[in-house]
Structure 1
Amino acid sequence: MSTSAPSQNERLRRPATRRSLRLGETTVTYLPDGIAQLVPHRWFPDTTDEVWAARPEYLDASGNLAAGVGGLLVERDGRALLIDAGLGPLSPAVDPERPVGRLRGGALLDSLAAHGRAASDIEAVAFTHLHPDHIGWAWHPAPGDDRPAFASADYLVTEPEWHQRHLLEAHGVDERTLSALAPRVRTVTDGEEVFPGVHVMFLTGHTPGHAVYVISSGGQRLIAFGDALHSPIQVDHPEWSVTVDHDPALAADARRHLLAELRKPDTLGFGIHFADVVFGRVRPVGDGPAWRPLDD
């Protein structure tokens, strides 16, 4: 007896599973670490209950936006780069006043192992930014060890993000965490190639030094855009900034620039928090949604 593939609406309401995509000589794989529930009217403060009542396909059974936390593995010629490092083995208590409901990490190393890789295979971890759900396994000790999981890797951080790291305290990144990162940090510049076919593109606004990573191979490119966008619905509404954007106006400008890039030929996107539709294209057609997920 065969089972039918989940519909797009079902995938919008659940966090992503491990998924891979081939681009020429490069393979990219989403590695889940855990889940997050975004409280819609708090996460997007410019929206109303009426907005979400009209778009119920984006909301899970609890009435929240389903999102994943994790990392993107980039493999080429036997080498491996990780973009972002999940939340780590944490499960904060739910605070009904905060814009994030249930939040849980801890599965990234298992996801990596299921893919046939070990943490020691990762030569560098490239961060889109330094919020807690992107740096977890870079500072938290690995199970059975007193060192972080990726202790043999360089940590790639944009110059403005690292130089303004004092601003991160408001987002739960304390001095202890930054001190754990510091010995391995190497700052990178706009346009720098950090891995074969992978270039940094500064796209500030969500944080002072937020970056996206452009992965090019086989005549295609994939833009791993971190927290420049948080939900597929935001592709249709780039004016919606989120409550944790450092500079909401600049973040909105960054989203418009990003969407222009994503509309270019032979360009795909990777949205780390995009429910179970993390890989897709931006193809606006009529009044329909512009984010077109890749099929399984």
Structure 2
Amino acid sequence: MNSIDDITPNQARLRSTPKSRSVHIGDIRVSYVHDGWIQLHPTLWLPNSSTDYWADHPQYLDDDGYLRAGMGGLLVETPTGTVLIDAGFGPRQMTADPDTPRFGAITGGSFLDSLTALGVRPAQIDVLAFTHLHLDHIGWVSAPDPTTGQPPFAHARVVMTAAEWDHGTSDEHGPFEETMKALEPRLELVSDGSEFSPGITLRSAPGHSAGHAVYEIASNGQRLIAFGDLFHSPVQIAKPHWPAQPDIDTERSTQSRHAILQRLTQDNTLGFGIHFADVTFGRVVVREHGCAVGSPSLPTRHRARGKGPPPNK
């Protein structure tokens, strides 16, 4: 059995609004940058799940019966530069709408304050890398910084896959035109397996979107994998055959989840789940009968005898 090995055994965090947190991967500090949260209807978002499953696993649902998914980005501070992976939802709020039942309430806007609390100014971001171009990952590309009136990351080099850029520019349901125009002059299209910044490697993981990518951060024998929207909830770690409703190619997204899970179960590896409520950092562990909940530090992984886990989002 596969599962996410949480930072603490407090199950309340599985359904709580996430907080900004930091861990160290060798000499690299990585931090979740909180922007907001969204409520996801569990059976509409994960259509292979059932009401019976959620009745048996209520610890994942908030008081309104939704999955509480965080929105934000991952700040990566290396000795040679600062990289931001994804850019939140932006300063917008939405109430639950019966016409879009897969969502409940949505709120964003705290991204820049979260950066400040981490001791980083937008001007210090050297590279803006995207897992994909859905609206909850690009919100601060063109939104103005209230202190300057200008987009906060307009100076930064931009990284993504060619497939994601090509799809984003042709998809009528994709990013706002102004966002694409803002990104294009600084754009660098990166291929699978490329280390585009020291210690940070892009890996292609399509299926949720045409060119979805994950990012591996490595230093001193330790590694973190930021897997974007391959997984929207910790329950998918144990059930990688469960696609999310927005996946444009469920077969490919399932293949990508299985491939990344193999990497996540390797020694000295952490995962980063941008939408994992308040359990953003954790290890994937393999158990024959269930799993333990423990520390996010990077010990040798546990081995088992059994088989090893609102926008478009």
* TM-score (norm. length: structure 2): 0.88
Q: 2 CA distance for matches of 1:150 and 1:237?
A: 36
Match of 2:105 in 1: 102
- In the alignment, is residue 179 of structure 1 matched against residue 197 of structure 2? no
User: What's 1:275 paired with?
Assistant: 277
Unaligned ranges ≥5, structure 1: none
Does residue 152 of structure 1 match 2:166?
A: no
- Aligned position for 1:45: 47
For residue 213 of structure 1, report the CA deviation from its aligned partner. Answer: 0.4
How far apart in 1 are the matches of 2:225 and 2:89? 21
The match for 2:245 is: 243
Runs of 4+ in 1 over 6 A off after TM superposition: 290-293
Q: Is contact 1:232–1:291 with CA below 8 Å preserved after alignment?
A: no
Paired residue for 1:190?
192
**Residue type of the alignment partner of 2:150:** R
Partner in structure 1 of residue 141 of structure 2: 138
Instruction: After TM superposition, give the deviation of residue 189 of structure 1 in Å.
Output: 1.2
Question: What amino acid maps onto 2:125 in structure 1?
Answer: I
In 1: Cα distance, 2:181 partner to 2:74 partner? 24
Which residue in the other structure is 2:124 paired with? Answer: 121
Q: TM-score, normalised by structure 1?
A: 0.93
Give the secondary-structure state (helix, strand or coil) at the position aligned to 2:84.
strand
| In 2, Cα distance between equivalents of 1:21 and 1:259 | 20
Aligned to 1:213: 215
In structure 1, the residue corresponding to 2:63 is in which secondary structure? coil
- Residues 164 and 41 of structure 1: CA distance in aligned 2, closer, same or farther (over 3 Å): same
Counterpart of 2:257 in structure 1 is 255
Q: Pick from 64, 83, 86: which aligns with 1:81? A: 83
Change in Cα spacing, 1:10 to 1:157, as seen in structure 2 (3 Å) is: same
Measured on the aligned residues, the alpha-carbon RMSD in Å equals: 1.9
Relative CO higher for 1 or 2, CA cutoff 8 Å, sep ≥ 6?
Answer: 2
Checking the alignment, whether the CA contact within 8 Å between 2:9 and 2:294 is kept in structure 1 is no
Q: Is the 8 A contact 2:154 2:182 kept in 1?
A: no
Whole-Å Cα distance in 2 between the matches of residues 66 and 286 of structure 1?
Answer: 29
2:159 aligns to what SS in structure 1?
strand
Deviations 1:228-265 (A, max 9, x none): 11110110111110110010111011101111111111
Counterpart in the other structure of 1:29: 31
Q: Which residue of 1 aligns with 2:286?
A: 284
Contact residue 284 and residue 290 of structure 1 kept, 8 A: no
Could you say which structure has the higher helix fraction? 1
What does the per-residue CA deviation read over 1:152-203, in whole Å, with 9 as the maximum and x for residues that have no partner?
10111111101121454325x2323322322222211111112210000000
Aligned partners of 1:229, 1:20: CA distance in 2, in Å?
20
C-alpha contact (below 8 Å) 2:9/2:293 kept by paired residues: no
Measure, in 2, the Cα distance between the counterparts of 1:132 and 1:291.
Answer: 32
Change (3 A) 1:98 1:149: farther
Q: Which digits, 9 at most, give the CA deviation of each residue in 1:116-145, with x for residues without a partner?
A: 110000001100000010111112222144
**Does the Cα contact within 8 Å between 1:15 and 1:276 map onto a contact in 2?**
yes
SS of the equivalent of 2:251 reads helix
- The answer on whether the counterparts of 2:16 and 2:68 sit within 8 Å (CA) in structure 1 is yes
